[in-house]
Chain A
Amino acid sequence: MAESIPATHEESHGDSHGGHHEESWVIKYLWSTDHKIIAMQYLFTGMFMALIGGFFAYTFRMQLAFPGESIPGWGMLTPPDYNALVTNHGTIMIFWVAMPVLIAAFGNFLIPLMIGCDDMVFPKLNRLSFQIFFLSTVVLLASFLVPGGAFGGAWTAYPPLSAQSAYSLTPWGAPLWVLAVALEFVAFLMGGINFVTTTMNSRAPGMKMHDIPMIIWMIVIASIIFMLSVGPLVAGAVMLLFDQLLGTGFYDPARGGDPVLWQHLFWFFGHPEVYVVLLPAMGIVVEIITTFSRKKFFAYKATLYTTFAAGIISFTVWAHHQFIAGIDPRMAHIFTVTTLLISVPIALITFCSIATLYGGSIRFTTPMLWALAFIFEFLLGGVTGIYLGAAGSDIYFHDSYFVLAHFHYTFFPIGIIATFAAVTYWFPKMFGRHLNETLGKIHFWGTVIPFNVIFIPLFVLGLAGQHRRIYAYTLFPDLAKAEFQDLRVLATVALLVLLVFQVVFLYNFFVSCFKGRKAEDNPFEANSLEWTAASPPPHGNWPELPTVYRGPYEYSVPGREKDYWPQNEPS
C-alpha cells in the first residue's frame, strides 16, 4: 500500500470524507481507522488507567503511613489487597499507561503528521491493535472481580508463586493477569509493525533519513526493540499459563522445571522495555527544547546512532535484575560491565539535550518546564542506577526501597513528566485550542515538587534497608522506628498533594478542549510538519501532502529574518 499514497487514502477511508453522508458517532470515534482518533482512544484509555494506577498508589501508601487504619475510599486494606494493589499499580503504570500513551498515542498521532502522510500504512491493523488493547484492559480490570481477587505476586510475576494457585491463592486472578499482559503485547506488536513500516515507506517527498524528527526515530527504535524482545516473554507467558491452568511444570523444580528460567525470559524483555518507554520520552524532550530554546538540536546524527547503540546494548544487561537471584555469580561481572556501559549512550543523549540549551533563547512555557523537569529528574534516576548496576553494592540495595525510588525517578519522568510535556505541547494541534498557561504552571509545580518529596524519603528508607512489598513494618523492629515512620507519612502526604493537583490538570484539559482559546496552525513557530496542518488536522491531514526541503531543527539560522524555517518551506 505504501507505494501509492493517494490510493491508500481512497481505499482505506472510502466514502468517509467524501461528504456523502454523516458518520455516526460510533463509526467516527469507536470504529475509526484514522490514526488521530486511534491516538485519542489510546490517550484517553491511558489517562483512565493512570487514574486507577494512581488510586492504587493512594491506597497502599495510606496503609504504609497509617497501618491498619480504614482508608477513605477503600476501607480496611488486607494483606492480599495490598499485594494485589502493589502488583497492579506496577503493571498498569508500565503496560497500560506509559506504553499506550507514550508509544501508541503519540506514535499514532505524530508519525503520519510529522513525516507528512495521510495515515498509517495499515489503518485496519491499527484499529485492531487498539481493539485488542482495549480487550486486554477489560481483562485486567475484570481480574479484580473474580473469586480470590486480582493477582498479587508482583508485576514481575516470579514463579512458583505465580504458577500455582496453592501458593498465590488467586486461582483466577493470576491467569487473567498473564492473559491481559499477553493480549496487550499482541496489540503493541501490531502497533510497532505499523510505526516502523509507515516511517520507512510513507515519508513526504524530500524527507531523507536525517530529516526525520528525533521523536519519530525514537518511537521507531523503541518499536524495533519491543518487537525483538517481546517474543521470549510471550513464550514464557504461555508456559506460565500452562503451568497455571494445565498443571505443566516448566517452572516447577519438583518436575524438572526451573523457576529462574522465567526471570531470564521476563528480564530479557523487561530491561529493553525500559528503553522502549524511555526513548519516546527523550524524543518528546528533544522536540520541545529545540522549539522553545529556538535552537538546532545539538549533534543530531551522533544522538541518533548512539540511540541505536543503546538499543543494542539494552539486550545485554538483563541479568542485573538477577544478581542475587541464584545465577552463577561469575556472570555478575559481565552484566556489571554491560550495565555501566549503557550509562554512556544515555549520558550522551542527555548531554546533547543540555548542550542544545547553550546559546538559546529559552521560553519557559508549560511544555518547556515539563521537558526541563524531565532532564532534571531523570538525571537522579540515571545516576542512582549505577549503585544497582554494580553487583557489589547491589547486594545491599537489591529489593530495597532504594530500587523503588530509583526506578520511580526514571519512570515518573518517562510516564508522567514526559507525557505532560507532550500533552501540553501538542494539545493545540490535537484539539485546536490552547490550554490555560497559568493553570498549566500551577499543575506543573504542584506535580514536580510533591514528586520529589515522595521519593527522596524513600531513598533514605532504602539506605536504611527497608525492603519492598511489605504490608506493614510493625513486625520489623529495626524498621518500625518512629523516625522511619515519619518518612513514610511524609511520602504519603506528598502523594496526596500530588494527586490533588491532578484535578487542576483534568479541569484545564477538559475545559480547554471545549472552551480554550482557538489555536492557530503553528502557535509555537515550530518547524516540523505537523504544524503545517490545520489545528486540529482533518481526516487525511492535508488537502495536499507536503514536500520536505530540510531537517526539523533549523531554528535561528543566520541571515534569515524569522527564527524558524519550516521543513516544507521551499528555500
Chain B
Amino acid sequence: MIEPYVAALSTYAKDIDDVIMLITLLVGFWFLLAQGALLGFCWVYRKRDGQKAQYITGEEKSQMRWVSIPLVLIVCCDIYIALADGPVWAKVKEDLPPAERKVRVIAQQWAWTFVDAGPDGQLDTADDITTMTDLHVEVGKLYHFELQSLDVIHGFSVPVFRLKQDIIPGRTIIGWFEATGTGTYDIQCTEICGIGHGLMPGRIIIETAEQHASWLAEHSELSVASNTLPQAAQE
C-alpha cells in the first residue's frame, strides 16, 4: 500500500508495510460487511405502502447473536493485529542491535544539523563530520542515531525508512536504522516547531560503500579543524 508512493529502504520498512497490509485486509472485510448491511437494509426495508415495520427488541439472545458473534470475531481480529504489531514495534523501538556507525541528529528552529562519527566511528572526537540539512549514510550499515533538540519539540521522520521519532529538548533519544537501498530522499520534521516548521527540510543521501568512503575522505580533513557543535540560534 505504501510502496507505490514511497520506496521501502530499511530493514524494518517491509515489516511495517506488512502490518499495514494485514490491518487493511482485516478491517477492510468488516468495513465492507458493515457498509453492505447498512446500504442493503436501506434498500430492502425502504417504506412501502401497506407494509408495517417489524417489532424487534434486540434484547433476546437469539437476536443479540447477530451483533455479539461479529463482536467476538472483531475481538479476535483485534488480538491478531496486536500480536502481529507488537513484534514490529519492538523491533523498531525497543531492540537496539549493535552499532556499526553512529550519527547525531540535532534539531533546532528551523534547521537540521547532522554529526557523523567520522572514520574512527566515535562521536565527540576530532574527526566528526558536521553537516547541515544533508545526512549522508552508507547502505547496509547499522546506524545508531542520537536525537537532540536545542529548543522545542521536533520530529525526526524518514519516510523511506518508515522511521519517525519525536525529539524532546533536554533528552537524548537513541534509535537505529539500516538502509537497504541507495538514493536521496526527504527528511521531515513532523512536530510543529514554530513559524518555520514548513521551512525545515532535510535530505538523506544513502550511498554505496565507495561513495560514502569518498565523502568521508573529502570531509574528515575539513572537520578536524572545526569539530564543535554549532551553538547557533539557541542563545
A residues apposed to B, CB below 8 Å: 79-80, 82-83, 152-154, 158-161, 167-169, 253-254, 258-260, 293-302, 324-326, 329-330, 332-333, 336-337, 340-341, 343-344, 347-348, 350-352, 354-364, 372, 375-376, 379-380, 383-384, 386-387, 390-393, 395-396, 398-400, 460, 463-465, 467-473, 475-479, 555-558, 563
Contacts and interface: CB of A to CB of B under 8 A. Distances in A.
Interface in B158-215: 159, 162-166, 168-171, 173, 185-186, 188-199, 201, 203
B95 to A, nearest CB: 10
B157 interface: yes
B51 to A, nearest CB: 6
B62 interface: no
A368 to B, nearest CB: 9
Contacts of B48: 361
Contact of A563 (B2, B37, B53): B53
Contacts of A359: 45, 53-54, 56
A372 to B, nearest CB: 6
Contacts of A296: 55-58
Contact of B199 (A358, A475, A555): A475
B67 interface: yes
B184 to A, nearest CB: 8
A563 B51 CA distance: 11
Contacts of A363: 47
Nearest to A330: B94
6 contacts: A298-B63, A380-B31, A384-B27, A467-B155, A555-B55, A558-B55
B3 to A, nearest CB: 10
Nearest to A152: B195
A362 B16 contact: no
A556 B54 contact: yes
A302 B58 CA distance: 9
Given A336-B86, A475-B198, A83 B93 contact: no
Contacts of B6: 463-465, 478
Contacts of B79: 340
B16 A361 contact: no
B113 to A, nearest CB: 17
Most interface-central of B15, B53, B57 (chain A CB within 10 A): B53
Interface in B86-117: 86, 88-90, 92-94, 109
Interface in B52-88: 52-59, 63-64, 66-67, 70-71, 74-75, 78-79, 81-82, 85-86, 88
Contact of B164 (A167, A259, A301, A324): A324
A398 to B, nearest CB: 6
Interface of B: 1-2, 5-6, 15-16, 19-20, 23, 27-28, 30-31, 34-35, 37-39, 41-42, 45-48, 51-59, 63-64, 66-67, 70-71, 74-75, 78-79, 81-82, 85-86, 88-90, 92-94, 109, 151-153, 155, 157, 159, 162-166, 168-171, 173, 185-186, 188-199, 201, 203
Contacts of A398: 164, 190
Given A387-B23, A399-B190, A348 B67 contact: yes
Given A83-B195, A169-B194, A390-B85, A463 B55 contact: no
Contacts of A161: 152-153, 192-194
A169 B195 contact: yes
A293 to B, nearest CB: 6
B34 A300 contact: no
A372 B78 contact: no
Contacts of B165: 324, 326
Given A330-B94, A380-B31, A392-B15, A344 B71 contact: yes
Contacts of A158: 152-153, 191-192
Nearest to A256: B170
Given A399-B164, A476-B201, A302 B64 contact: yes
A399 B78 CA distance: 23
Nearest to B78: A340
Contacts of B173: 326
Most interface-central of A82, A153, A168, A340 (chain B CB within 10 A): A340
A396 B16 contact: yes
A556 B16 contact: no
Given A253-B169, A391-B89, A463-B6, 12 more contacts: A79-B197, A299-B59, A336-B82, A348-B71, A360-B53, A361-B46, A361-B51, A364-B42, A393-B23, A395-B16, A467-B188, A556-B55
Nearest to B165: A324
Contact of A386 (B5, B81, B164): B81
Contact of A392 (B5, B55, B85): B85
A380 to B, nearest CB: 7
B164 A80 contact: no
Contacts of B71: 344, 347-348, 351
Given A254-B170, A329-B94, A361-B48, A392 B53 contact: no
A296 B159 CA distance: 50
A329 B93 contact: yes
Given A295-B56, A326-B171, A167 B157 contact: no
Contacts of B34: 350-351, 354, 379
A476 B56 contact: no
B58 A300 contact: yes
A395 B42 contact: no
A393 B20 contact: yes
A376 B35 contact: yes
Contact of A333 (B30, B86, B198): B86
Contacts of B93: 324, 329, 332, 391, 395
A563 B47 contact: no
Contacts of B15: 392
A301 B190 contact: no
Contacts of A324: 93, 155, 164-166
A463 B194 contact: no
B221 to A, nearest CB: 30
A398 B159 CA distance: 11
Contacts of A360: 41, 45, 53-54
A337 B79 CA distance: 8
Given A464-B6, A476-B186, A383 B82 contact: no
Contacts of A469: 192, 197-198
A396 B54 contact: no
Given A324-B165, A330-B94, A391-B89, A79 B195 contact: yes
A404 B77 CA distance: 25
A344 B92 contact: no
Contact of B41 (A300, A333, A358, A386): A358
Contacts of A357: 38, 41-42, 45
Contacts of A260: 168
A255 B60 CA distance: 61
A472 B198 contact: yes
A457 to B, nearest CB: 13
